[in-house]
Amino acid sequence: MSDLEQHRGRWRPRLDRPALVALLFGLAGVVYRLVLTLFTVPVSNSDEATFGLAALHIGQGRERPVFLYGQHYMGMLESYLAAPLLAVAGPSWPVLRLPMLALYALFLYLIHRLTRRLCTPWFATFVVGLLALGGERVVRDQITVVGGRPEVKPAVLLMLLITVGLAAGTVRRRRLAVAVFGLLVGLAAWSDWLILPYLAVAGLALVWAVRRELLGWSGLLLVVGAVVGVAPMIIDNLRAGPGEDSLSVFREVSTRAGPAPPWSDRIRGGLLEGVPLAHGLCPVGGCGRWQQWFGVLYPVLLVVGAVLAVLAYRRAAAAPRGERVGPVVQLALVAGAALTLLSYVRSPLAATSPLDNARYLSVLQLSLPAVLWPLWVAAVACWRGTVGALGRLTGALSTAVLAALTATTVVITVLFAATDTGASRTEERGARELAAALRADGPHEVYGDYWTCNRLIFNTDETVVCGVLDGDLSPGQNRYRPYWRQVGRAERPGYVVEVDSPMDLRLRRLLADRADTALVREVGGYRVYHPDTPVRPWR
């Protein structure tokens, strides 16, 4: 990565050209996301606000949540990372997202290090350049506080780098490294179960690298590290009541009743929508036919990547373990992507709601080096003229694919940055105007829908408390029950509804001739009602 340069009697590292270009790409990606963060783009929502409220409670010493309020399977590591910042600065969306920006920068650094170790310097630079780009779907998964994905990807990369270092003999404190590997496994498993396929293949790679050492103290330290990392989840599940443990709740969420879509629809939704969306090749509204080509090509690249890794391993069969670890890790990345994709297409959501659930494939970015490596090898061989006619044709096609991938990602990024941020900023401004109006003039106990309530509470620093109702004015998904109870005790609660929404129309029918007198203001696309007597039809 760098050479040593003498400067006034001291030796300092000097980046070579590929590393310097990668650094510039990485800085551009971080600055791009920092600007979006400062403008709260992508727009905030109540899911993210729930993590923010938990961070406020942690910073104030009021709560020590293990899982997201109202759930039993999504870890709260992101809230703990943001808690010290919010304790100092108060509720702020940019401040809440700053730890995610740092995790993104760490992700770029680690994937560059790993790709450079496994492949070539310029290919590592190319991967960083692609990952520096990103439309709304990609950026949302990277910098918004919605649980799991921003932190588990750096964890897996660090685990694989530890494996490479142990196999190559470049890690001095080997037992400590194995313990850190175990700790990362535990933290990642607690944070987001979507990463389990990658944890499994990373664990197998570690066993291959140091299987003899794992029979002694290193194996014990690995287990201890994993137990420490996952300890919050273990303790919470031991205290949970029947049916409230993580596995039971997750199984219930994953197997909701209803007819199962055919496999063809699930595969189509997973490959043609999910894969391109997860890699930033489509706008958030969905993929056109011309953007779905990467989803068709993706399983082919996985197979070719696996074949290349196996061939490379067989060619290095007589070499030291440190020279064979590269193909092993590449094969692990291919297997992790294949298992993740298979797990996704098994879910009915891959067919019924592919746009909303493509976020579950964002971890496929971990395997981007292994997936694109066959294309890079073929393209380089073609341009160097070291192959025959068939090889030149393959190389030309590979070059075209890499160019199309880059161009499409650039176009989607530019379109998002230039044209799609205005709607987010308008919506965010409306939410803040609503919060400012209620904070200043009340009412301070209100009912609203799910996507209004927790964001309103976070924006007002809990000055306004909101209870969640569904569109028919029945109790909704109240993640933090104390808010619901506080509004329920209010003698004269208010109602915050989007203008002309089903909840607005239903409320006006219940208020009848009192509707106009109960309406106290319209602000930011919302109507605020404050009737003289409470309207609680569920009682």
Strand partners, 468: 448
pLDDT tens digits, 136-160: 999 999 999 988 789 999 999 999 9
pLDDT tens digits, 228-237: 999 999 988 8
Question: Looking at residue 253, what is its pLDDT?
Answer: 61
Query: What three-state secondary structure class fits 465?
Result: strand
pLDDT tens digits, 87-123: 999 999 999 999 999 999 999 999 999 999 999 999 9
- Pairing between β-strand 526-529 and β-strand 494-498 as defined by DSSP bridges: antiparallel
Closest by CA to 185, choosing from 127, 233, 115, is: 233
Spatial distance between the Cα atoms of 67 and 65, rounded to a whole number of angstroms: 6
CB 470 within 8 A of CB 496: no
- Pairing between β-strand 519-523 and β-strand 494-498 as defined by DSSP bridges: unpaired
What are the backbone angles phi and psi of residue 443, rounded to the nearest 5°? -70, 155
| Cα dihedral 12→17→19→21 (10° resolution) | 130
Question: Looking at residue 306, what is its pLDDT?
Answer: 97
Q: Which residue matches tokens 């990609």?
A: 138
- Pairing between β-strand 465-468 and β-strand 445-448 as defined by DSSP bridges: parallel
Question: Looking at residue 319, what is its pLDDT?
Answer: 83
Assign 3-class secondary structure to 161-184.
Answer: HHHHHHHHCCCCCHHHHHHHHHHH
Question: Looking at residue 8, what is its pLDDT?
Answer: 53
Parts of the chain with a pLDDT under 70:
1-13, 250-258
Please classify residue 385 by burial: count the beta carbons closer than 10 Å to its beta carbon, then call 0-12 exposed, 13-18 middle and 19+ buried: exposed
Q: Within the chain, what is the greatest distance between any pair of CA atoms?
A: 87
Question: Looking at residue 72, what is its pLDDT?
Answer: 80
Spatial distance between the Cα atoms of 322 and 319, rounded to a whole number of angstroms: 8
Residues 6+ apart with CB under 8 A from 365: 131, 153, 278, 279
Strand partners, 290: none
